[in-house]
Copies of this chain bind each other. A is one copy, B any other.
Amino acid sequence: MVRNMSLRHAALGLLVEMDGASGYDLLKMFEITMNNVWQATQSQLYGELNKLTADGFIEVASEGPRGRKEYRVTDEGRAELRRWLLEVPPKVVRRDEILLRLFFLGQVEPDEAAAFVRAQAATLDDRLTALGDLEGNIEWGDENLSFYGRLAMEYGKRFMAMRRDWYDWVLEELAERGAPEK
């Protein structure tokens, strides 16, 4: 059985890049770097760290104050990360709540439908602004996380711009359908 377990590998990968860290550190790092790529709750992360330890992919390098456990990736962990990167085909999950709602917009009044789309566009504009701010505040170095983080950020920008254009196009289509009499 080849399970996917992306959270596992997200944690493993970050631990490699961070060159060891505690669950708490990892959690913060997740919030900063992985927020737009992979989400994880605190309980999920701590649980996964224990499983990774049990499986020998990471180990407790040292214990600090407040019960802090500093984790370090083992050679087996590095091998597993590599295997996952190169040999496990990425699963494309297609699940989009906004697109799902779109399908059923015929069930509400045309002006309600248009309002829905406009609201999504407005939300997107906010996110776009936030992304711009974020980008300005980051100092991009040449470490791996910086380099690949920048690539991911560019993706985010392109994605949102594409989506924004599409919303505008949808609004035109809705208007045309609503008033098709020439």
Contacts and interface: CB of A to CB of B under 8 A. Distances in A.
Given A38-B100, A116-B86, A147-B177, A81 B94 contact: no
Main secondary structure of the interface of A (DSSP, over half): helix
Q: How many copies of the shown chain assemble into the complex? A: 2
Interface in A126-177: 143-145, 147-149, 151-152, 154-155, 158-159, 162, 165-166, 169-170, 173, 177
A90 interface: yes
A96 to B, nearest CB: 6
A148 B107 contact: no
Interface stretch (A6-14, A43-51, A58-66): A6-14
A75 interface: no
B86 A108 contact: yes
A66 B78 CA distance: 53
A27 interface: no
A181 to B, nearest CB: 14
A148 B102 contact: yes
